[in-house]
């Protein structure tokens, strides 16, 4: 059963970068609202500002102007240590490049975010076991990233994102490095997580992917939201 209410809100958010004497408006006064249980896609061509929007939504960056609210808290005024704690508890990240640590096993990659939150070893072991089962990775627990396939690595990345049981999963081009069949399997995992109540925010340039899976699509162009589409 999905919870109700707003979980993420960007209000008149701008992100500017100074390059020499020029100002690049990577994100220019955008407004995005994500409700609990939504599956949202942020899409647009290269240079549209969608990656910057992802960093802002995930509190990996702070706005030049405007406000970002996560579960009612204005995170745009918080310091880095507070942001890190909020990210660790509330947002799970899935990256296109997987970003797994090569010297850690699959299970160790999954338990790492828990250790950063001070969770006991017993709880980490039990939670990792359940997540490995959920993602059908139990038989790969002691393997290293270079010993498993690309699709399996992406499922490990999803498993790691679930480690601290966040409300929001932020996926950056989650199928970008996968063949179509493997990518479809990864998307089915995300859709299943969404049906179980997780809020999914996916950044993509893939039109078909966005409109097939997302309930709401924000289309960015030149740092501005050009249009918003909702599933009928």
- Which CATH number characterizes residue 130's domain? 3.40.50.300
Domain contains 1:
no
Dihedral pair phi/psi, residue 8, rounded to 5°: -135, 135
Domain contains 25:
no
Domain contains 54:
yes
Note the pLDDT tens digit of each residue in 193-224. 999 999 999 999 888 899 999 999 999 999 99
pLDDT band at 31 (very low <50, low <70, confident <90, very high): very high
Contact 17, 26 (CB under 8 A): yes
DSSP codes, 116-183: HTT--HHHHHHHHHHHHHHTT-GGGTT--GGGS-HHHHHHHHHHHHTTT--SEEEEESTTTTS-HHHH
Domain contains 145:
yes
Range of the domain at 104: 37-60+78-230
pLDDT, average across residues 137-154 = 96
What are 159's two structure tokens? 């498993």
**What does pTM read for this prediction?**
0.90
Domain contains 171:
yes
Tell me how many domains the chain contains: 1
Note the pLDDT tens digit of each residue in 148-173. 999 999 999 999 999 999 999 999 99
Domain contains 224:
yes
Domain contains 19:
no
């Amino acid at each position: 059963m999905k919870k109700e209410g707003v979980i993420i809100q960007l209000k008149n958010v701008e992100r500017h970068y100074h390059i020499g004497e020029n100002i690049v408006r990577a994100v220019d006064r955008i407004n995005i609202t994500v409700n609990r249980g939504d599956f949202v896609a942020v899409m647009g061509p290269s240079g549209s500002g969608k990656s910057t929007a992802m960093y802002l939504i995930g509190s990996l960056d702070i706005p030049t102007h405007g406000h970002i609210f996560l579960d009612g808290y204005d995170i745009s005024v918080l310091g880095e240590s507070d942001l890190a704690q909020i990210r660790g508890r509330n947002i799970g990240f899935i990256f296109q490049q997987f970003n797994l640590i090569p010297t850690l096993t699959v299970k160790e990659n999954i338990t790492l975010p828990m250790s950063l939150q001070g969770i006991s070893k017993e709880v980490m072991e039990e939670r990792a076991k359940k997540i490995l089962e959920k993602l059908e990775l139990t038989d790969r627990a002691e393997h290293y990233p270079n010993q498993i396939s690309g699709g399996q690595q992406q499922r490990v990345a999803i498993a790691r994102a679930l480690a601290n049981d966040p409300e929001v999963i932020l996926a950056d081009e989650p199928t970008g490095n996968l063949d179509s069949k493997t990518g479809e399997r990864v998307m089915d995992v995300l859709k299943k997580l969404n049906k179980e109540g997780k809020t999914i925010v996916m950044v993509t340039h893939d039109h078909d992917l966005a409109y097939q899976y997302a309930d709401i699509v924000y289309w960015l162009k030149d740092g501005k939201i050009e249009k918003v589409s909702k599933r009928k």
